[in-house]
A = this chain, B = another copy of it.
Amino acid sequence: MDEKIEVKESVYERNDRISKETKEFLKSRGVLAVNVLGAPGAGKTSLIESVIKRAGIRSYVVEGDIESDIDVKKLGEQGIEAVQINTHGACHLDAPVVKKALSEIEFSEPGILFVENIGNLICPAELTIGEHAVMLVLTVTEGSDKPYKYPLAFQKADVIVLNKTDLLAYVEFDERYFLEGVRTLNPDAPVFRVSAKTGAGVGDVVEWLKERKKNTI
């Protein structure tokens, strides 16, 4: 039993060590790393695309998916280069796998790195991957009960983006109930109402990222 516990701890310890190294490396290059979490179909890729187009700042992207390179191609069509990680079953990214992906990127200028984690509100919240900030993406179509059902992701978030607000008129979304749930878990993270599709509210996310970069890097 002792041996098993030791092995498990050392996996987490190794992850934390590599995560810390990644953070420091990226900081030395003037790059803010953002770990983007959200359920399948939350619009993480569309949000990243929308933010990059408005930010006017050098951006780098790593796309995490179990299979496929759909999101890298989607970003490529918009002139945004991205590196794909396929986990082939693993339900979250970890620091070693992100570090390996980052070795393919030449961080030639200061800027922002977006790491889109696997579409999953549970497991990705448990591990750091070298980020300076966690961005949690929700949608109004998912329903307003998500903070109550997936508390850890909300606790870990530095910024919360409520996406697909263009669909608010067609769904039942109790924003007060949602925000009450968020505030119980996380009193400080700002919550931005956004439509990555129309661009509404995306400017607020950009401003927050720039401020965070200024204060962190």
Contacts and interface: CB of A to CB of B under 8 A. Distances in A.
A70 interface: yes
| Secondary structure class of chain A's binding surface, majority of residues | loop
A19 interface: no
Contact of A121 (B70, B119, B146, B151): B119
B148 A70 contact: yes
Interface in A24-73: 39-41, 65-68, 70
B164 A122 contact: no
Interface residues of A, number: 33
Contacts of A70: 145, 148-149
Interface of A: 4, 39-41, 65-68, 70, 89, 91, 118-123, 139, 141-143, 145-146, 148-152, 164, 166-167, 170-171
